[in-house]
Structure formats: structure tokens, C-alpha cells
Chains A and B, each alone.
Chain A
């Protein structure tokens, strides 16, 4: 519903015309269709996704692992927490040109750009989630002689999972920002290349189609994550809110 509203408003704004560089919704949709058929959009997506998937994969595994460890161990917390708090506060995007300087313009640089933006928020959310796990449930687990491992796997992580997953969603979104920035700033490839190219030749409908498609794609991935969480860890949420 809200999607239809946004599209409608966009169509009207495009017709009015606010600016020559602002195509209407239908023009954009048509451009999207053309680009899908001629293969330029799918290929650009594949190119963009390659470092993105690697980067997000690393961020999730490394970020959740480190964050959970920090939440469980005071020593790790003391060591690592300040680093990530600074990282999250700093405008990390400013470091992307620096990465190019050190790692060149290849895959490594792009993966690193994704990680740089995604990891801090994933780490900090996982860490806060574990640190704030319900002490009463932890005590319950201890009272029934749960081992430390059982306590972590059966109580702390499921209890922390909503906040961990909120962090993952933010992390994935940040990863998308990272990859698009890298493609715009480092070397024009993939979606970044499409955007740059179509802007250069004033194909605004094509440019918007590229931008919107990456935004929608990112939103879809993020909401898929939510589904994964519900299925894997929090089955009770499936029925929450849907009255029988």
C-alpha cells in the first residue's frame, strides 16, 4: 500500500516536471525493463553482488562472533569495545579513498569497503544484545545445571537474537552503502558504473532504474533476514500479532 502511494506520488512529480533530470515512474519502469532485457542490469548486479556477498558474509560471521564474544567476556569487551564504538561514530565512508590507496581497485578493496561499513554496527548490536540477555533466564538455566555452552546456545543467543538480527539488518544496509560508494568512488563497475554512465549520457530514466533497483534489492534482502530469524530462532513471533 505504502509502496503504491510512493509510486503514485513519484509519477505525478515526474509529470509535473520538477527537473529534467527527474523521470516519471513509468519512464523509469520502462527503462528498468529495457535494461533487464538487454542484460546490462543483470550483469551489473552480478558484478556488484560478488564483493558484496563476500563482504557481508565476512561481516556477519566475524561481526556476530566477535560481538558475542565481547558480550560474554569482560576481557574481550575491554579490548575491543572502544575500537568499534569509535568506528561506528566515525564517518567510515571517508576511509574508502584510503582503501584504494592501500589495496588498489580490485576485489579486496571493495570487500574491505563493505566490511568497514557493516562490521561495526553488527559487532556493537551483537555485543549489546548478549550483554543485556535476561539475567533471570540465565539464572534459571544455571539452576537446572545447564553448562556454560548450553547457557550460551539455548538461552543467551536466542534471547539476544532480535537485537543481533536488528544489527544484521543495519549491517546489510550499511554493506550496500559501502559497495555502491566503492563503485562510485573507486572504479566504476557494476551498478555504480551504470549509474555513472547513464548520468554522463543524460539517460536519467536508466540512471534512476539502476538506483531504485539496488534500493529495492537491498530492502528485499533485509526483510528476508527477518524471516530467517523467525524461522531459525524465534518461532513464537510467527503467531504474534495474528489473532486466531
Chain B
């Protein structure tokens, strides 16, 4: 297993900025969510976490974020052991986690507000990222006035606004429409190439995972373990359509689908 990890890191071609070793997590109710997870996340790349619902993807992401304590193992970010949340990591929540009493602007700028940044600067930055996610004109609305997809974009903008090196994204595009999703995918790839961000990305879409990632990590059913690491660099091809039509892309999607189907079959047998 460990040489597989090393291999994947090598194929991605850069040093790991986030290193997860021997992580196990058992919730208080007795649910064993994760067991012995070892993973390396190369700097400046996007790694997708894929796996059946309830396998511990959110749990793993929150442990990396320092929001949950693992029962065993440790997380290192840039060589330093994680003991809590840090400014180099930003989280996009699966349930959006917006403040219902705050406007879009204040929600987007909430990370900056907590850092004690001046109001004028906060407004400026918030305006920029609100435009980036296509919510211009909704600055003074409250979350309950927005659609699910729009709320999700507020959560995205909030994470972008703090300018962290590592983005931890928990199904960040699950509620947006297909057009917006494609736009965001391109934006994310652009961000990766220009700003050298590292992204850890949870998704249920195999196509999205293969399209965006340098590597796809397949987790097993609960308790979540790493069942396979699939290098998926589709480098070289320029246009999105060319990538989506390439044999390598289609084969990889097919392979992963084959592996995930195994879980479904096992479920049926049980």
C-alpha cells in the first residue's frame, strides 16, 4: 500500500503538502468512520476523494481541517503537525454553513471579519469574490432569499476570500446547475495553474473527479479505508472538450465506475 502512495505522489510529480498517516476515527456513538488512512496530497494539485455515501469523506476532510480529532494517526500540513484549524486551510462545507442573519456580503467576508480586517477592505474583497461566483446584485440579500445553488456559491466565495493555500472542498458543486458547474470547474483549474493552490475535493461525480484531478482516491465503504489511488493526469490536452473525448479520460471513468459498482453488488448480495 505505502509504495502505491509513493507512486501516486511521484506520478503527480511534486511534494506532498498535506500528509495523512494512520488516521482512524471513531465517533462517540460507536460508529467507526475511518480506519488506518494513509494519503499524500501533492502541492499545487487537485486530489479527489470518491466513495460511497457515509464512507467518511467529510470526516476525513474535517480531520485535515483540524475540526475533528482523530483517534489515531496524524495530519501534517507543510511538514507541521495539525492540532487545529489554520490560516493556510479553508473549508467549503457540504451543508454550506452560512449565517442566516448575515447578508451575502457579510457571509462572504466572514473569514476576513474574524481576522480583524477593516470593513472597507472586507467589502472590496467580498465584492470581488461575489462577482467571481456570479452573485453580483445579491450582495445585500440574506441566505433564506437565495436558492440552494446560490447559497453554495456564497460558501465557495467565503472560502476563496481568505486566500488559503489548501482548499478543502466538500461536494462544492453539488447544488449548482450543470452550466455553472462547468464554469466553476474551469475556474478551479485556472486557480490551480495560476495560484498554485492545493485542493482536496470530495465529489460523487466520477466524471468530475477524473476531469479535475491529478489523482482520484477511492475510499471503501465504512469504515473508510483507501481502497485505490488512481493517477489521472490528463495533461497535454488543451480544450475541455478534447479532454472529455479523450480515450484516457473515458477509460479512467469506466475503470472507476467498475470499481464503485463492486460496492453496489456487494450491497445487493448482503
Task: Say what secondary structure dominates the interface of chain A.
Answer: helix
A144: which B residues are within 8 A, CB to CB? Answer: 85, 90, 110-111, 114-115, 162
Of chain A, the residue at the smallest CB distance from B142 is: A236
Q: Is the CB of A143 within 8 A of B101?
A: no
**Total residues of chain B contacting the partner, CB 8 A:** 28
A147: which B residues are within 8 A, CB to CB? Answer: 114
Known: A136-B93, A139-B67, A239-B142. A145 touches B101 (CB 8 A): no
Of chain A, the residue at the smallest CB distance from B100 is: A236
Q: B residues 138-162 with Cβ under 8 Å of A?
A: 142-145, 162
Q: Is the CB of A143 within 8 A of B67?
A: yes
Residue in B84, B95, B101, B113 whose beta carbon sits within 8 Å of that of A235 in the complex: B101
Q: Is the CB of A145 within 8 A of B110?
A: no
Q: Is the CB of A236 within 8 A of B101?
A: yes
Decide yes or no whether A228 CB sits under 8 A from chain B: no
Please give the distance in Å from A141's CB to the nearest CB on chain B. 7
Q: Is the CB of A142 within 8 A of B85?
A: yes
B99: which A residues are within 8 A, CB to CB? Answer: 137, 155, 158-159
Q: A residues 127-148 with Cβ under 8 Å of B?
A: 136-137, 139-147
**Total residues of chain A contacting the partner, CB 8 A:** 22
Q: Is the CB of B67 within 8 A of A145?
A: no
Q: B residues 94-129 with Cβ under 8 Å of A?
A: 95, 97, 99-102, 110-111, 113-115
Decide yes or no whether B240 CB sits under 8 A from chain A: no
Please give the distance in Å from B7's CB to the nearest CB on chain A. 32
B111: which A residues are within 8 A, CB to CB? Answer: 144
Please give the distance in Å from A198's CB to the nearest CB on chain B. 47
Residue in B97, B113, B145 whose beta carbon sits within 8 Å of that of A136 in the complex: B97
Known: A150-B114, A239-B142. A143 touches B91 (CB 8 A): yes
- Please indicate which of the listed interface residues B85, B89, B113, B144 has the most CB atoms of chain A within 10 Å of its own CB: B85
Q: Is the CB of B101 within 8 A of A158?
A: yes
Residue-wise, chain A 210-237 has the 8 Å CB interface mask toward B (1 for contact) of 0000000000000000000000011110
A189 to B115: give the CA distance in the assembly, Å: 55
- Please indicate which of the listed interface residues B86, B93, B97, B162 has the most CB atoms of chain A within 10 Å of its own CB: B97
Q: Is the CB of B142 within 8 A of A145?
A: no
Of chain B, the residue at the smallest CB distance from A141 is: B114
Decide yes or no whether A74 CB sits under 8 A from chain B: no
Q: Is the CB of A236 within 8 A of B144?
A: yes
Q: A residues 93-147 with Cβ under 8 Å of B?
A: 136-137, 139-147
Of chain A, the residue at the smallest CB distance from B115 is: A145
Give residues in B with beta carbon < 8 Å to A.
Answer: 62, 65-67, 84-87, 89-91, 93, 95, 97, 99-102, 110-111, 113-115, 142-145, 162
Given contact pairs A144-B90, A145-B86, a sample of 12 additional A-B residue pairs in the complex whose CB atoms are under 8 Å apart: A137-B99, A139-B62, A140-B93, A142-B67, A142-B85, A144-B110, A144-B162, A145-B114, A158-B101, A159-B99, A159-B101, A236-B142
Give residues in A with beta carbon < 8 Å to B.
Answer: 136-137, 139-147, 150, 154-155, 158-159, 233-236, 239-240
Could you write out 19 A-B pairs with CB less than 8 Å apart? Answer: A136-B95, A137-B97, A137-B99, A140-B91, A141-B114, A142-B85, A143-B85, A143-B90, A144-B90, A144-B110, A144-B162, A145-B86, A145-B115, A146-B114, A154-B113, A235-B101, A236-B102, A236-B142, A236-B144
